[in-house]
């Protein structure tokens, strides 16, 4: 007997029409790290994924970033680990200087990070390129565009009309800045610390923003000191100037970090005002800082921001969810932003497999939140070892560094590997019947 044509009460066969399965459609906002990683795992679970990115192309600049612990298993399963190992930066030492430029201590990078020899440090552009190339043939990318509005006006599965900006209806209507309007089953914000997706659905950033008491300015400049495979950090209480040479090239990454009780008004929206603020803070600094300030004014890649985390009580609402920095930015002080993005992307895709969005998003939070919190808690407000605020704290830090320089490498930081990935799911679980789940 055909199970799709069961007998009717009268004994004659009746036809039951079922809607054909179709892929679950997902819009991902952001094409940095979390976005392409999530797209990769969703497509392998049968989803049809679109990634929208406001930049005109992949962003190739930025500081080198770390891939550690559980995140190493994510990139291994993606097949990009050998490529990232080839791009690994073998940083040899961190040298700390006092106010006069004298050496305090030189230590191995892992001694401070809690990393291991198996961890990776790669140029940000190499990681984003590897993730993009792993998924570009299977995903629709929309560059030079972004989400303008999110709405759910439509008809529900019960036939009732929905008219709400809370995306819990049968689909999510998205209007793009470029003018197009499309409907998706799910929308995922992977658009960073200043996520527009989060703002549209959850409200202003301030309610989730945890300021850690520091501001920074980052840019590239000429390698006038001839640094190679090393970083040099100059400290006075509440101020740090760092030069970072991932290789032996003609340019280095410069970072000027300073403590401030509250974020500056406007939080660095005006580039010229940002330059003037940083120059004022470091006006009397010694060592190479005057040259760094000169380079600051001429830099075309200057990036200024607060050192912050995003802490949210929930990462989803209706059919919209967040991943990576948009949901749980840990700050660069932890060195775990990219690793959380990679692990979060894997876990979100895995938890959606075989579940409707409500159950999938709940499982994602339940399975991932402890791991996220452990890594966010690696740093507290105003207590970063690299940036002591008071003279006493700086002296204690320097004494600790002198001790580290004579010690063997430390053990791995447990938080980095505090989550074990589930096995990958099959490709059929992204298929949905009818209006989608």
Count of C-beta atoms within a 10 Å radius of residue 10: 6
CA distance linking residue 376 with residue 71, whole number of Å: 15
How long a stretch of residues is the chain?
437
User: Interhelix angle for 357-376 vs 337-352, to 10°?
Assistant: 160
CA distance linking residue 213 with residue 209, whole number of Å: 12
CATH number of 89-119+212-307+381-412: 3.30.9.30
DSSP structure string for 46-70: T-EEEEEESSSS----S--EEE-TH
- Cβ-based burial of 128 (10 A; exposed 0-12, middle 13-18, buried ≥19): buried
Compute the Cα dihedral for 342, 343, 345, 350 and give only its sign. Answer: positive
Instruction: Name the token pair of 33.
Output: 């790290």
Closest CA to 182 of 224, 212, 210, 140: 140
Q: What are the C-alpha distances in Å from 136 to residues 19, 162, 185, 207, 252? A: 30, 35, 21, 35, 31
Compute the Cα dihedral for 186, 192, 195, 198 and give only its sign. Answer: positive
CA distance linking residue 148 with residue 51, whole number of Å: 14
CATH topology of domain 22-87+123-208+311-378+413-437: FAD/NAD(P)-binding domain (3.50.50)
Closest CA to 112 of 365, 307, 378: 378
Q: Where would I find the H helices in 189-245?
A: 196-202
pLDDT (tens place) for every residue of the chain, 437 residues total: 444 444 444 444 444 344 446 899 999 999 999 999 999 999 999 999 999 999 999 987 778 999 999 999 999 999 999 999 999 998 899 999 999 999 999 998 877 766 666 899 999 999 999 999 999 999 999 999 999 999 964 433 333 334 344 445 589 999 999 999 999 999 999 999 999 999 999 999 999 999 999 999 999 999 999 999 999 999 999 999 999 999 999 999 999 999 999 998 876 889 999 999 999 999 999 999 999 999 999 999 999 999 999 999 999 999 999 999 999 999 999 999 999 999 999 999 999 999 999 999 999 999 999 999 999 999 876 667 789 999 999 999 999 898 876 555 556 678 999 999 998 655 444 444 444 45
3-state secondary structure 342-387: HHHHHHHHHHHCCCCHHHHHHHHHHHHHHHHHHHHCCCCCCCCCCC
Contact 125, 33 (CB under 8 A): no
Closest CA to 436 of 175, 156, 36, 188: 156
CA distance linking residue 182 with residue 171, whole number of Å: 10
Please report, for the chain, the start and end positions of each structural domain, with discontinuous segments joined by +. 22-87+123-208+311-378+413-437, 89-119+212-307+381-412
CA distance linking residue 284 with residue 233, whole number of Å: 17
Beta-sheet pairing, 140-143 with 48-53: parallel
CA distance linking residue 138 with residue 78, whole number of Å: 14
The pTM of the full predicted model, rounded to 2 decimals, is 0.88
Any bridge partners for residue 27, and if so which? 50, 187
């Amino acid at each position: 007997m055909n199970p799709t044509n069961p007998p009717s009460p009268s004994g004659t066969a009746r036809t039951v029409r079922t809607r054909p399965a179709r892929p679950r459609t997902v819009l991902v906002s952001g094409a940095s790290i979390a976005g392409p990683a999530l797209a990769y795992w969703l497509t392998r679970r049968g989803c049809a994924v679109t990634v929208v990115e406001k930049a005109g192309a992949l962003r190739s600049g930025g500081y080198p970033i770390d891939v550690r612990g559980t995140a190493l298993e994510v990139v291994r399963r993606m097949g990009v680990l050998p490529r990232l190992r080839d791009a690994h930066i073998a940083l040899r030492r961190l040298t700390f200087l006092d106010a006069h430029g004298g050496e305090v201590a030189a230590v191995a990078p892992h001694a401070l990070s809690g990393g291991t020899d198996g961890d990776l440090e790669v140029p940000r552009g190499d990681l984003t390129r590897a993730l993009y190339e792993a998924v570009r043939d299977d995903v629709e990318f929309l560059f030079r565009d972004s989400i303008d509005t999110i709405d759910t006006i439509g008809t529900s599965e019960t036939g009732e009309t929905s008219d709400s900006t809370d995306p819990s209806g049968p689909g999510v209507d998205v209007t793009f800045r470029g003018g197009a309007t499309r409907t998706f089953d799910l929308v995922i914000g992977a658009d960073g610390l200043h996520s527009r997706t989060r703002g549209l659905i959850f409200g202003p950033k301030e309610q989730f923003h945890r300021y850690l008491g520091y501001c920074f300015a980052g840019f590239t400049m000429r390698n006038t000191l001839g640094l190679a495979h090393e970083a040099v950090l100059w400290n006075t209480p509440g101020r740090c100037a760092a030069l970072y040479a991932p290789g032996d090239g003609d340019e280095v990454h410069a970072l000027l970090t300073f403590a401030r009780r509250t974020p500056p008004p406007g939080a660095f929206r005006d580039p010229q005002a940002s330059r003037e603020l940083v120059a004022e803070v470091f006006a009397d600094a010694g060592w190479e800082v005057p040259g760094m300030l000169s380079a600051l004014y001429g830099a075309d890649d200057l990036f200024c921001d607060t050192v912050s985390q995003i802490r949210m009580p929930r990462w989803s609402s209706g059919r919209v969810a967040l991943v990576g920095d948009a949901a749980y930015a840990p700050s660069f002080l932890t060195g775990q932003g990219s690793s959380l993005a990679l692990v979060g992307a894997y876990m979100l895709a895995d938890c959606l497999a075989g579940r409707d969005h409500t159950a999938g998003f709940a499982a994602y939070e339940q399975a991932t939140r402890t791991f996220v919190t452990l890594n966010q808690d690696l740093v507290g407000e105003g207590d970063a070892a690299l940036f002591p605020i008071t003279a006493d704290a700086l002296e204690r830090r320097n004494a600790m560094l002198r001790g580290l320089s004579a010690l063997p490498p430390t053990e791995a930081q447990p938080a980095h590997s505090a989550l074990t990935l589930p096995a990958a799911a099959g490709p059929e679980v992204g298929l949905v019947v009818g209006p989608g789940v």
